[in-house]
Amino acid sequence: MHQRPEHAQPSRGRRRALKAFTALTAPAASPLASAQAWPARPVRWVLPSAAGSAPDIIARMLSDKLSAALGQQIIIDNRPGAAGNIAAQTVARAAPDGYTFLFGQASTLAINPYTFKSTGFDADRDFAAVISIGVSPFMFAVTPSLKAQTMAELIALARAEPGKLSFATSASRNLSHISGEMLKATAGINMVHVPYKGSQQAAADTVAGLTHLYIDSIPAMSSYAQSGRLRVIGVTARNRVPGFESVPTVNETLPGFEAVGWFAIVAPAGTPAEVIERTNRELNAILAQPEVGQRMRGFGMFDFGGSSADLDRFMKSERSKWAKVMREARIEPE
């Protein structure tokens, strides 16, 4: 009988079996090893805001510094539209590999789930918290002709004349509008909401006395407040705001009242913990730099930084709070 040579090659079937066995027994690349090599290429931050907007300027300032710290470029991907839902969908559907993040905001991550019938993402399940970029409180300002010097006097006036006072905001269903609805529910008053298409006309009509209360961010309000064209009677932050220490918080009149906009960085759910921790650590160091803090406060941003766990708890509490406000205001999703 013919003997197979000692060094003959194995059959095709045997080679296939050996290849499969090798694949099964070879050490696999672990997520930890992959995370330790991160970042090996540029990282993308998706923004729901247009280029040149305040969030875009803040994101680019932070991303430039983070690029230097990581040794890889942070690419800003502006995707405005649909109240931030387009940007959030993009990140929710991205691979959780540490190379895509959302520079999100309160309206997208805490309000939209209750104002849209479908957002295209699940704010509770589709994202992992990374770091808070800061909160942005609102100011309540009245027309100078109104006989109300304080929040308490405004509330008393509204109670005495139900439905006769109005509040103006730069849009409908945005955070300043929902803050006004929260004021109505918390104080037990009835005021008429007057939405505008932008801050300028909303402020101008309140200055003229066509509307009585104007609610907007600190940067949008500050010039009117400093010139005396509007009388600021309350700020919606938990504590008084640096630079406006003479303005009481609303919660000094209505205990527990807090209504703030905010920005946060989140990642697709399942992003390696090591990537989230590194990003959080580097950005906390950047946000602690005095010149960065000064610029952030210039944009009306405060209380920036903290742990990813802090942000996760905060976002959950915000969604719970705004869901309650929307129910009480009977604002239905569209």
Strands 43-47 and 260-268: unpaired
Alpha-carbon 119 to chain mean position: 15
With a cut of 80, say whether residue 33 has pLDDT above it. Answer: no
pLDDT at 273 (0 to 100): 98
At 68, list the tokens: 């230097």
Q: Are 133 and 56 in contact (CB under 8 A)?
A: no
Q: Is a pLDDT exceeding 90 seen at residue 86?
A: yes
Based on the number of CB atoms within 10 Å of its own CB, is 73 exposed (0-12), middle (13-18) or buried (19 or more)?
middle
Q: In this structure, which long-range contacts are made by residues 41-44, counting pairs with CB atoms below 8 Å and at least 24 apart in sequence?
A: 41/72, 41/99, 42/72, 42/73, 42/74, 42/75, 42/99, 43/70, 43/72, 43/73, 43/74, 43/75, 43/98, 43/99, 43/100, 43/101, 44/74, 44/75, 44/77, 44/99, 44/100, 44/101
* CA–CA separation, 169 and 151 (whole Å): 18
Does pLDDT of 20 surpass 60? no
> Looking at residue 330, what is its pLDDT?
87
**pLDDT of residue 3 exceeding 50:** no
In the 3-class helix/strand/coil scheme, how is the chain assigned residue by residue? CCCCCCCCCCCHHHHHHHHHHHHHHCCCCCHHHHHHCCCCCCEEEEECCCCCCHHHHHHHHHHHHHHHHHCCCEEEEECCCHHHHHHHHHHHCCCCCCCEEEEEEHHHHHHHHHHCCCCCCCCCCCEEEEEEEEEEEEEEEECCCCCCCCHHHHHHHHHHCCCCCEEEECCCCCHHHHHHHHHHHHHCCCCEEEECCCHHHHHHHHHCCCCCEEEEEHHHHHHHHHHCCCEEEEECCCCCCCCCCCCCEHHHCCCCCCCEEEEEEEEECCCCHHHHHHHHHHHHHHHCCHHHHHHHHHCCCECCCCCHHHHHHHHHHHHHHHHHHHHHHCCCCC
pLDDT of res. 323:
93
In this prediction, residue 24 carries a pLDDT of 42
Across all residues in the chain, what is the average pLDDT? 90
HSE-CB for 221 with a 13 A CA cutoff = 30
- The full set of domains in the chain, from first to last, is 43-136+261-329 (3.40.190.150), 137-252 (3.40.190.10)
pLDDT of residue 274: 98
Residue 18 scores a pLDDT above 50: no
> What are the pLDDT digits (tens) for 118-138?
999 999 999 999 999 999 999
- What is the structure's pLDDT at 333? 87
Q: Which two tokens stand for residue 284?
A: 């906390």
Q: What is the average pLDDT across 164-180?
A: 95
205: pLDDT strictly greater than 60: yes
**Residue 301 clears pLDDT 90, i.e. is over it:** yes
For residue 263 the two structure tokens come to 């920005």
pLDDT on residue 89:
97
Query: According to the model, what pLDDT value does residue 332 have?
Result: 87
Q: What is the pTM of this model?
A: 0.85
Q: Return d(Cα 229, Cα 206) in angstroms, integer.
A: 9
State yes or no: pLDDT of 173 exceeds 50: yes
pLDDT greater at residue 76 or residue 242: 76
**pLDDT of 284 over the 60 cut:** yes
Q: What is the pLDDT of residues 57-74, one digit of tens each?
A: 999 999 999 999 999 999
Res. 197: pLDDT tops 90: yes
In this predicted structure, the answer to whether residue 25 has a pLDDT above a threshold of 70 is no
- Please report the pLDDT score of residue 35 as a whole number: 57
User: Taking 90 as the threshold, does the pLDDT of residue 6 lie above it?
Assistant: no
Average pLDDT of the residues in 30-45: 77
| Mean predicted confidence (pLDDT) in 214-224 | 94
pLDDT at 36: 64
- The overall longest dimension of the chain from CA atoms, in Å, is 115
Q: Is the peptide bond before 39 cis (omega within 30 degrees of 0)?
A: yes
Report the alpha-carbon distance of residue 122 to residue 109 in Å, rounded.
9
Residue 248 pLDDT exceeds 60? yes
Span 282-298, average pLDDT: 96
Are β-strands 127-142 and 213-217 bridged in parallel, bridged antiparallel, or unpaired?
Answer: antiparallel
Position 315 pLDDT exceeds 80: yes
